[in-house]
């Protein structure tokens, strides 16, 4: 039975049946750890106030020229200005040229590209941990914009449940040209040492079954809720209402926060571990913050999880047979809660995520199976004792044996006893003469009477009385 359980658990682990539970525990850990002080990151929001003042989006691109001038006040220039807005199509020629001239005046602007990773034939691309994800087509800004800026991808990576937990730090096109992510490019321009991240890749099958990851795919360390990030309105920056020192040496991200507003990609928000609906500009802000802080999320090696799960599985096969049910169930509850609490402590202390769902399943099945089998066998034994001994001894004594789990052994105990026998002269003989024995109901036996110091029995210290007594283990024929 236990061998079959182990095979079933291996299959369940391979198919990630409880992957959703592990994902929920991961999201909870991430959410509890969020709320840290941010690095020098400022979000310029295209919000409802900006729409009310400047009109319906998209705006005339000429508006971005004075906007860049206000951000790049002498002595207060940001390290990087990253747009989470695509500029892939032509609009008014004069407005496009005004924007291009403004971009040419500054060297700290990043414009986004979107890599098409689905392809035209099979509708998918192959991810390998030893190579960057390949995009079959790159949709970027107009050439007159692209020649003056840094280019970075804004592709998002969503798990099967739709939650954004990972990011591609770099992708490449079919010609081998590498496009770092918007956050990577911004952190690099801000002076962060990203050499550790260049060789970092998450293990596969973390958030989905048979999931292979591409090189430089990392888990996002969400430390910032939306309200933790300094956010100013686009229109207020344009009107010069924001102190230029706010942007000095910072990373500025420009993106949508107005409800229902999106760019040409049709994406403006997504579900994250810490917020059900987070505007994507704040997802980029979290990645930038992670790269500037030098943090990363690690995962316990698969072999340690397997080994720990196997040890606990074997332990809870043994415990139900060795302990009373009340003690074994307390140990089971302690083990299950300890696994959940322990993985929380490990994440909070070291940012290492441990998948415990399969281990909890293994412990649960091992315990329930063996405690049920034990209970069944004990019930069968009690029924056997009640049926067999109820023929010879009183029902109350049988109930006592069953209820107190008295261990019944074959054989007997040899003990020295003293019997006080009082006989009324003539009564014993009269009974023998008047009461005839019934066949099969009496058995002849010897009883030794120790008369002690009775002066009437001087010279007869031990008298053997041979007679007939009732044998409780013999029944009438």
Give pLDDT tens digits for 44-92. 999 999 999 999 999 999 999 999 999 999 999 999 999 999 999 999 9
pLDDT, residue 10, reads: 78
pLDDT at 226 > cutoff 60: yes
Query: Same structural domain for residues 130 and 145?
Result: yes
Query: Same structural domain for residues 28 and 39?
Result: no
What is the number of other CB atoms lying within 10 angstroms of the CB of residue 19?
Answer: 22
Average pLDDT for 421-448: 51
pLDDT at 146 > cutoff 60: yes
Query: Same structural domain for residues 69 and 133?
Result: yes
Chain mean pLDDT for the chain: 85
Q: Above pLDDT 70, what percent of the chain?
A: 82
| Residue 461 lies in domain | 415-477
Residue 353 CA to residue 346 CA, distance in Å, equals 7
Closest CA to 150 of 118, 122, 112, 200: 112
Last residue of a domain, one of 275, 296, 317: 296
Q: Residue 472 burial by CB count (10 A; 0-12/13-18/19+): exposed, middle or buried?
A: exposed
Query: Same structural domain for residues 290 and 314?
Result: no
pLDDT, residue 65, reads: 98
Total of domains in the chain: 3
Q: How confident is the model at residue 411 (pLDDT cuts 50, 70, 90)?
A: low
Average pLDDT for 191-219: 88
* CB hemisphere CA count around 223 (13 angstroms): 20
DSSP percent split of the chain into helix, strand, coil, nearest 5: 40, 15, 40
Query: Same structural domain for residues 262 and 398?
Result: no
Average pLDDT for 430-459: 47
Last residue of a domain, one of 378, 395, 412: 412
Query: Distance of alpha carbon 66 from its chain centroid, rounded?
Result: 49
* More confident site: 250 or 453: 250
pLDDT, residue 36, reads: 85
Average pLDDT for 3-17: 78
pLDDT, residue 436, reads: 52
Query: Same structural domain for residues 215 and 89?
Result: yes
Query: Same structural domain for residues 309 and 291?
Result: no
pLDDT at 450 > cutoff 60: no
Convert 102-137 to b/e letters by CB count within 10 Å (16 or more is b): bbeebebbbbbbbbebeeeeeeebebeeeebbbbee
pLDDT, residue 422, reads: 66
| Helical H segments across 110-218, by residue range | 143-146, 182-189, 195-198
Residue 280 CA to residue 294 CA, distance in Å, equals 21
Closest CA to 352 of 221, 205, 161: 221
Last residue of a domain, one of 296, 323, 358: 296
Query: Same structural domain for residues 120 and 258?
Result: yes
Average pLDDT for 350-379: 93
Query: Same structural domain for residues 268 and 365?
Result: no
282-341 per-position pLDDT tens digit: 999 999 999 999 999 999 998 999 999 999 999 999 999 999 999 999 999 999 999 999
The model's pTM is 0.80
Average pLDDT for 16-26: 88
Query: Same structural domain for residues 176 and 45?
Result: yes
Q: Is 282 helix (H, G, I), strand (E, B) or coil?
A: helix
365-375 per-position pLDDT tens digit: 999 999 999 99
According to DSSP, the β-strands at 442-450 and 462-470 are antiparallel
pLDDT at 454 > cutoff 70: no
Query: Same structural domain for residues 2 and 111?
Result: no
Average pLDDT for 180-192: 98
The angle formed by the CA atoms of residues 363, 209 and 171, to the nearest 5 degrees, is 135
Query: Same structural domain for residues 335 and 285?
Result: no
- Match 């704040």 to its residue by tokens: 282
């Amino acid at each position: 039975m236990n061998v079959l359980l182990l095979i079933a658990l291996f299959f369940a682990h391979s198919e990630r049946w409880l992957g959703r539970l592990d994902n929920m525990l991961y999201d909870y850990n991430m959410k509890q750890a969020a709320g840290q002080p941010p690095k020098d990151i400022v979000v310029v929001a295209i919000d409802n106030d900006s729409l009310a003042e400047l009109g319906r989006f998209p705006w005339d691109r000429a508006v971005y020229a004075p906007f860049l001038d206000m951000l790049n006040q002498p002595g207060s220039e940001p390290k990087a200005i990253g747009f989470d807005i695509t500029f892939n199509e032509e609009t008014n020629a004069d407005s496009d040229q005004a924007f291009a001239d403004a971009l040419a005046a500054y060297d700290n602007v990043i414009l986004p590209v979107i890599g098409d990773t689905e392809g035209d034939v099979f509708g998918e691309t192959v991810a390998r941990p030893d190579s960057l994800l390949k995009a079959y087509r790159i949709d970027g800004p107009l050439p007159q914009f692209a020649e003056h800026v840094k280019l970075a991808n804004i592709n998002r990576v969503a798990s099967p449940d739709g939650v954004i937990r990972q990011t591609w730090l770099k992708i490449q096109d079919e010609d081998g040209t590498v496009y770092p992510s918007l956050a990577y490019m911004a952190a690099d321009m801000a002076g962060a040492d990203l050499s550790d991240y260049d060789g970092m890749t998450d293990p596969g099958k973390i958030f989905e079954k048979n999931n292979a990851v591409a090189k430089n795919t990392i888990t996002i360390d969400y430390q910032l809720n939306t309200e933790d990030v300094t956010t100013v309105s686009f229109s207020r920056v344009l009107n010069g209402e924001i102190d230029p020192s706010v942007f000095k040496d910072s990373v500025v991200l420009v993106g949508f926060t107005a409800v229902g507003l999106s760019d040409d990609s049709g994406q403006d928000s997504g579900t994250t571990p810490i917020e059900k609906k987070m505007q994507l500009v704040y997802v980029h802000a979290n990645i930038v913050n992670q790269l500037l802080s030098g943090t990363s999320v690690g995962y316990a090696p698969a072999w340690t999880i397997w080994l720990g799960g196997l040890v606990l599985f074997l332990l809870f096969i043994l415990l139900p047979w060795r302990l009373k049910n009340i003690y074994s169930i307390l140990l089971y509850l302690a083990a299950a809660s300890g696994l959940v609490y322990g993985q929380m402590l490990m994440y909070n202390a070291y940012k290492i995520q441990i998948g415990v769902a399969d281990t909890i399943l293994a412990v649960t099945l091992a315990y329930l199976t063996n405690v049920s089998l034990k209970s069944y066998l004990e019930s069968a034994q009690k029924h056997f004792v009640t049926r067999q001994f109820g023929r010879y001894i009183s029902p109350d004594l049988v109930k006592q044996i069953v209820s107190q789990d008295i261990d019944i052994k074959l054989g007997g105990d040899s003990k020295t006893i003293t019997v006080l026998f009082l006989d009324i002269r003539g009564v014993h003989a009269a009974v023998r003469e008047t009461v005839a024995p019934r066949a099969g109901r009496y058995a002849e036996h010897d009883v030794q009477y120790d008369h002690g110091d009775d002066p009437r029995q001087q010279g007869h210290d031990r008298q053997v009385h041979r007679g007939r007594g009732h044998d409780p283990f013999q029944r009438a024929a």
